[in-house]
Amino acid sequence: MVFGAVIALAALGVWRSLTLYSNVAPDPVMDPSELGSVRRVLSLALSGDSAGAERAGATSAAARWALAAARRDSDMVRGWVTATETTNRAERGDTTIRTWFTTAAMQRCSGAAELVARLIHEGRAVRLVGLESPCLPVAPITFDLQ
């Protein structure tokens, strides 16, 4: 009898631990079109092609930001190009605000280096209307030797 009660309580505990958080939304789902758009724009910026970034769906402001970021810290931008982790996705009106992060340049930022992209979905196309990061512009790391 006691043994049966212990097994029943253990089974209840396992079931409860599996269902306790079942109604909590999982991490933001990565939208391949959003990820692809940002990756294309950043890759073109790394090669110095801001006109190509605009043809790829970025506004001129987003293309300029990406080009300046690539010039300031190409390692961080390369990290964002390969990043697959997303920390946030919000919708405000017709604009989707997506946050990616990379650990490629953590020594330059406190925590993971975040990239916030503002995107507008136009049918099947995605337009990149803004990029920003709290880690850029990044001052060069210098050491004073005495």
Q: What is the model's pLDDT at position 3? A: 75
Token duo for residue 9? 């309580």
Give the burial class of 14: count Cβ atoms within 10 A of its Cβ; 0-12 exposed, 13-18 middle, 19 or more buried: exposed
> Cβ distance 80 to 100 under 8 Å?
yes
Residues in Cβ contact with 130 at an 8 Å cutoff, skipping those fewer than 6 apart: 59, 61, 62, 65, 116, 117, 118
Q: Which amino acid is at 21?
A: Y
Per-residue pLDDT of the chain (146 residues; tens, 9 = 90+): 777 777 776 665 655 554 444 444 445 566 788 888 999 999 999 999 999 999 999 999 999 999 999 998 888 888 888 877 677 778 887 788 888 777 655 556 766 678 888 999 888 888 999 998 887 754 444 444 44
Count each helix (H run) and each strand (E run) in the chain, helices first: 5, 4
